[in-house]
């Protein structure tokens, strides 16, 4: 079974499974197709995080494809450039690209196919074209003036002959197709499959890709701040990063093990929220009711406040252990009343004093900011993007399972490198220019990421991969899914289709880092009575479209019967689940 946020990626992954490839071959093939067909949501210059288990070893493992800040990305440099936050678009926001290297490491260690075969579908869609989804054109239209006036290489790539592509137009990216072909060609004389993959990685990290990207972004260019700056990324930064594996962070909830990233991502938010909610009766946990929606929103506010106070690449493991303890969860649970909190309330695990980030309700006056992020990203004319990302889940006949969230490097994040066919990402915008912050900008360290795939296990055996795009909403929407399946008894597709909601009552991870005290965004079809009830309890409710929140997918396997299942989001008619 393969499920992803775009039907072409899902079909590609399934075609690999049908031809004898395993889940890892399929996931890598699907991911490179996502770079091509969802360029407004991810790209080769971005990042990814995965969590997986193999048929031989059911222990959940995190795949780290989040690159670090460059060596010259110091707080002092950014302050000297006249900035008080890292911009949301432009080369200064770029971390070392991590996605491509991570996918190739996964293919090397757990896949079976040759890189040329795995990449052939992506090369074909880039070279020969694919029908573009409408949101790509909408995104390009949002930044068309930026492209025309300041990023001509992006205009040339995404607005050929000055035209913005419309839904259904066949678009190509021959530069990226050539880049992939050159990377594959680097291993033509290698003696083994592993050596061919290593040659690919070496050329990506140390060869023409790094050289051309770094040289191109040395020229000052427009950032979302409205000012021009040169990137600080060097080829030495690119070469120094190598994707790898980490131990997953897990808790038990209602008989299921939930496996997530550590606090370099926001994965523990889901675990903290589940810990808090585990102390409530089932009747309090239905997100489709006033009581359930209120309880869930309040638990999320507490978990997200801890995220902003404690999470980061340098987070103390002892702090995370305290944050996930039963005692701490009980203390946090006691803070939930019948009224919506409008406060930022991080806790004090082990008596420690929490860090409080800037709490801004208004964006800088130079930038127009739209409504809170919903299902697809909010993209400003400056290139600033809030909400993002793609997702892919794969399970194969042998019991290999992978959940992965590729992101960053979307077409509006920085000027496209002409000969490469892609741009760099903007993940550094999630760091603070504050030395005291646990997620401060630190050279050589990963920025805290919002990417947060999930793996579920029962009795130590993997049963489901699940995840969603959505920036700060990723764990929030996944929480609704888990409550509905693990507590409410919903089938996966029912849970994905059920009305969604999330809080905006926390500092956003995306520039300009604003928050809405007491904010709650809900799909209108949750019902007037629920919306009125939330309002009466003090929530500042934004009614979203009836089918607008969440882009979840999942794929799983019943270990007792071997029966596979998958489901995908129906919102936007773009997500797709397929299998046999």
CA–CA gap between residue 450 and residue 387 (Å, rounded): 9
Query: Per this entry, what is the length of the chain?
Result: 580
For residues 72-90, average pLDDT: 96
- Map tokens 């033509």 to a residue: 188
pLDDT band at 313 (very low <50, low <70, confident <90, very high): confident
CB atoms within 10 A of CB 215: 11
Over the chain, what is the mean pLDDT? Answer: 94
Q: What's 126-144 look like in SS3?
A: HHHCEECCHHHHHHHHHCH
Give yes or no for a contact between 260 and 253, defined as CB atoms under 8 angstroms apart.
Answer: no
Distance CA 6, CA 577 (A): 9
* Helix (H) or strand (E) segment spanning residue 494: helix 492-497
> Could you tell me the pTM of the whole model?
0.94
Q: What is the 3-state secondary structure (H, E, C) of 29-91?
A: HHHHHHHHHCCCCCCCECEEEEEEECCCCCCCEEEEECCCCCCCCCHHHHHHCCCCCCCCCCH
Q: Answer yes or no: are the C-beta atoms of 1 and 579 closer than 8 Å.
A: yes
Burial letters for 301-321: b for 16+ Cβ neighbours within 10 Å, e otherwise? bbbbbbbbbbbbbebeeebbe
pLDDT for residue 367 is more than 50: no
> Would you tell me how many other CB atoms lie within 10 Å of the CB of residue 510?
21
Distance between CA atoms of residues 544 and 370, nearest Å? 13
20-31 burial, b if ≥16 CB within 10 A, otherwise e? ebbbbbbbbbbb
Tokens of 129: 């074209």
Q: What share of the chain is helix, strand, coil (3-state, %, to 5)?
A: 40, 15, 45
Strand partners, 151: none
- Give the separation between CA 462 and CA 58, rounded to whole angstroms: 6
Q: Which residue has the tokens 């999470």?
A: 311
User: 335-340: which pairs have CB atoms within 8 A and are 24 or more residues apart?
Assistant: 335/298, 335/302, 336/276, 336/295, 336/298, 336/299, 336/302, 337/298, 338/294, 338/537, 339/537, 339/538, 340/294, 340/297, 340/298, 340/518, 340/520, 340/534, 340/537, 340/538, 340/539, 340/540
What is the rounded CA–CA span in Å between residue 18 and residue 402?
A: 17
Average pLDDT over residues 73-93: 96
**Which range is most confident: 234-248, 355-369, 508-522?**
234-248
Residue 458, classed as helix, strand or coil, is: strand
The more confident residue out of 371 and 177 is 177
Contact predicate 505/517, CB 8 Å: yes
Which parts of 159-279 fold into alpha helices (H)?
Answer: 174-185, 193-206, 208-216, 235-240, 267-277
Q: Give the mean pLDDT of 173-197.
A: 97
Q: What is the mean pLDDT of residues 120-131?
A: 98
Alpha carbon of 448 to those of 172, 315, 331, 364, 426: distances in Å? 33, 10, 26, 23, 12
Strands 519-523 and 540-544: parallel
Give per-residue pLDDT as tens, 215-249. Answer: 999 999 999 999 999 999 999 999 999 999 999 99
Q: How confident is the model at residue 88 (pLDDT cuts 50, 70, 90)?
A: very high
Answer whether residue 550 shows pLDDT above 80: yes
**pLDDT higher than threshold 50 for residue 16:** yes
CA distances to 304, 323, 331 from 327, in Å:
18, 9, 6
Q: Do 433 and 441 contact (CB within 8 A), yes or no? A: yes
Query: 486 vs 301, 332, 492, CA distance in Å?
Result: 22, 22, 10
What distance in Å separates the CA atoms of residue 302 and residue 268, rounded to the nearest whole number?
12
pLDDT of residue 487: 98
C-beta neighbour count of 354 within 10 angstroms: 18
Q: Give SS3 for 108.
A: helix
Dihedral angle sign, alpha carbons of residues 204, 210, 212, 217: positive
- Rounded to an integer, the average pLDDT of 91-97 is 97
Beta bridge partners of 379: 385
- Containing H/E element for 575? none
Q: What is the pLDDT of residue 378?
A: 53
- Of the pLDDT bands very low, low, confident and very high (cuts 50, 70, 90), residue 551 is very high
Q: What percent of the chain has pLDDT over 70?
A: 96
Average pLDDT over residues 171-175: 97
CA angle (368 as vertex; 364, 373 as ends), nearest 5: 100
Whether 169 has a pLDDT exceeding 60, the answer reads: yes
Could you give the count of Cα atoms lying within 13 Å of 226 in the half-sphere of its Cβ? 6
Alpha helices (H) in 258-335, listed in sequence order: 267-277, 290-310, 317-323, 326-333
- What pLDDT is recorded for position 388? 63
User: Residue 199's CB: how many other CB atoms inside 10 A?
Assistant: 20
The percentage of residues in the chain with a pLDDT greater than 90, rounded to a whole number, is 91
Q: Which residues of 511-541 are buried (b: 16+ CB within 10 A; e: fewer)?
A: bbbbbbbbbbbbbebbeeebbebbeebbbbb
Residue 251 host element (H or E): strand 249-253
At residue 371 the predicted structure's pLDDT band, cuts being 50, 70 and 90, is: very low
Backbone φ, ψ for residue 358 (5° rounding): -60, 135
Whether 382 has a pLDDT exceeding 80, the answer reads no
> Helices 193-206 & 208-216, crossing angle to 10 degrees?
20
- C-alpha 334/C-alpha 528 separation (Å) is 29
Strands 519-523 vs 501-503: parallel, antiparallel or unpaired: antiparallel
* Least confident residue range of 45-54, 453-462, 482-491, 569-578: 569-578
307 pLDDT exceeds 80?
Answer: yes
**What is the C-alpha to C-alpha distance for residues 104 and 110, in angstroms, rounded to an integer?**
10
Please give the DSSP secondary-structure letter assigned to residue 483. I
Question: What is d(CA 94, CA 69) in angstroms, rounded to the nearest whole number?
Answer: 8
């Amino acid at each position: 079974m393969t499920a992803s946020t775009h039907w072409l990626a899902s079909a590609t992954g399934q075609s690999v499974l049908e031809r004898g490839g395993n889940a890892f071959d399929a996931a890598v093939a699907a991911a490179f197709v996502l770079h091509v067909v969802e360029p407004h949501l991810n790209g080769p210059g971005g990042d990814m995080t995965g969590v997986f288990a193999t048929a031989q070893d059911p222990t959940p493992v995190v795949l780290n494809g989040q690159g670090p800040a460059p060596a010259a990305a110091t707080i002092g440099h950014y302050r000297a450039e006249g900035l008080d936050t890292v911009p949301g678009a432009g080369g200064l926001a770029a971390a070392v690209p991590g996605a491509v290297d991570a996918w190739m490491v996964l293919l090397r260690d757990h896949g079976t196919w040759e890189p040329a075969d795995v990449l052939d579908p992506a090369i074909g869609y880039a070279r020969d074209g694919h029908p573009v989804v409408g949101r790509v054109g909408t995104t390009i239209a949002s930044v068309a003036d930026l492209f025309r006036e300041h990023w001509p290489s992006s205009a040339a790539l995404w607005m050929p002959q000055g035209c913005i592509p419309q839904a259904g137009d066949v678009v190509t990216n021959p530069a990226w197709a050539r880049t992939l072909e050159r990377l594959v060609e680097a291993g033509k004389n290698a003696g083994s499959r592993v050596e061919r993959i290593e040659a690919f990685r070496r050329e990506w990290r140390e060869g023409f890709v790094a050289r051309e990207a770094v040289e191109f972004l040395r020229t000052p260019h427009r950032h979302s701040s409205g000012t021009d700056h040169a990137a600080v990324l060097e080829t030495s930064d690119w070469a120094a990063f190598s994707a790898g594996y980490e131990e997953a962070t897990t808790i038990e909830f209602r008989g299921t093990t939930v496996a997530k990233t550590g606090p370099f991502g926001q994965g523990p938010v889901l675990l903290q929220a589940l810990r808090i909610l585990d102390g409530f009766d089932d009747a309090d946990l239905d997100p489709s009711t006033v009581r359930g929606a209120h309880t869930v929103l309040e638990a999320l506010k507490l978990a997200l406040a801890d995220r902003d106070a404690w999470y980061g690449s340098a987070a103390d493991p002892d702090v995370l252990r305290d944050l996930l303890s039963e005692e701490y969860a009980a203390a946090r649970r006691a803070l939930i009343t019948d009224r919506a909190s409008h406060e930022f309330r991080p806790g004090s695990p082990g008596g420690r004093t929490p860090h409080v980030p800037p709490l801004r309700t208004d964006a800088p006056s130079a930038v127009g900011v739209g409504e809170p992020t919903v299902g697809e990203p909010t993209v400003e004319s400056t290139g600033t993007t809030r909400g993002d990302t793609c997702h892919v889940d794969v399970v194969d006949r042998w019991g290999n399972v992978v959940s992965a969230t590729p992101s960053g490097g979307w077409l509006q994040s920085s000027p496209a490198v002409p000969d490469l066919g892609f741009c760099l990402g903007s993940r550094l915008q999630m760091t603070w220019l504050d030395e005291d912050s646990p997620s401060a900008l630190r050279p050589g360290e990963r920025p805290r990421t919002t990417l947060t795939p999930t793996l579920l296990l029962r009795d130590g055996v993997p049963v489901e991969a699940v995840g969603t795009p959505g920036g700060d909403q990723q764990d929030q929407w996944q929480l609704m899914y888990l409550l509905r399946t693990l507590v409410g008894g919903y089938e996966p597709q029912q849970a994905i289709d059920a009305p969604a909601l999330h809080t905006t009552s926390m500092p956003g991870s995306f520039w300009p880092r604003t928050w809405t005290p007491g904010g709650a965004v809900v799909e209108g079809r949750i019902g007037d009575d629920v919306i009125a009830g939330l309002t009466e309890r003090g929530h500042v409710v934004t009614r979203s479209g009836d089918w607008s929140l969440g882009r979840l997918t999942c794929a799983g396997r019943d270990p007792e019967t071997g029966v596979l299942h998958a489901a995908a989001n129906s919102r936007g008619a773009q997500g797709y689940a397929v299998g046999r």
